[in-house]
Amino acid sequence: MEQAKKHLVLLSIFIILFNFATSEALSQPLHNRSKHFVLVHGASHGAWCWYKLVPLLRSSGHNVTTIDLAASGIDPRQISDLQSISDYIRPLRDLLASLPPNEKVILVGHSLGGVALSQTMERLPSKISVAVFLTALMPGPSLNISTLDQERVRRQTDTLDTRFTFGNGPNNPPTSLIFGPKVLLLRLYQLSPIEDWTLATTLMRETRLFTDQELSRDLVLTREKYGSVKRVFIIAEKDLTLEKDFQQWMIQKNPPNEVKEIRGSDHMTMMSKPKELWACLQGISKKYN
């Protein structure tokens, strides 16, 4: 009961912030009403993290959907309910599967959200006009998720106050994580307004972790399906979580159709550079139909 009350309070805070941002954005001119954006959050976050970008896109006439992946944001499931990465991604697959037959979306995934994009590209390629990887994990037919994750871990610096849970015992890989205030401040939100960091520290939830073997089993990506979807990668120049050289390594190993860069962006581009991200996505929406 206390947990439910907490999430209701946090949701109220988000709605207040969202309404404020919407009122600011509605003063902007309207352009190009035809695109549907679906925004997918990263680890420990939820749909709330897009609150600055959503009104900007809507003020341009676009339809925008933000989702909570399973056991994220205000989704009622708990991480103990997730037996596979497919369970985690299910809300995104269900959303796209429910769209009208001829509707396609611009799919935007941030950080761990890139894994959700990748599986959805493989399973529902006909529903996606372009997939946008915003400083996101980008596996592919030529870059297995286990290889990608091992490289990420190899480059990883001190995790600071990130809290790991070892549900299978201390001698086995961790089964969940949640970002602490320090790592959020110094590695994710270091260039974002302090108010956004404060919001994040309040809304973090544990993220279920899966082994490389489990990920490889559920993320089999083919050139015929995954490879049929256009991809754009957006580099966050000042990202200290997935650093620029790692982003470039993924791009080299699994080249997308186009690469863009947002200068001065930390890991949370939608917080530190929302207007620049908006402009970038506007350009993508015009180019990929």
Per-residue DSSP letter, 141: T
Distance CA 245, CA 44 (A): 24
Distance CA 196, CA 167 (A): 31
Distance CA 243, CA 249 (A): 10
Query: Could you tell me the two tokens for 251?
Result: 């791009």
Q: Is 5 exposed, middle or buried (0-12, 13-18, 19+ CB in 10 A)?
A: exposed
Distance CA 149, CA 27 (A): 43
Q: Are 276 and 265 contacting, i.e. CB atoms less than 8 angstroms apart? A: yes
Distance CA 284, CA 71 (A): 30
Q: Which residues form the catalytic set?
A: 111, 239, 267
Of the candidates 107, 87, 113, 125, the one whose C-alpha atom is nearest the C-alpha of residue 221 is 125
Query: Could you tell me the two tokens for 165?
Result: 């849970």
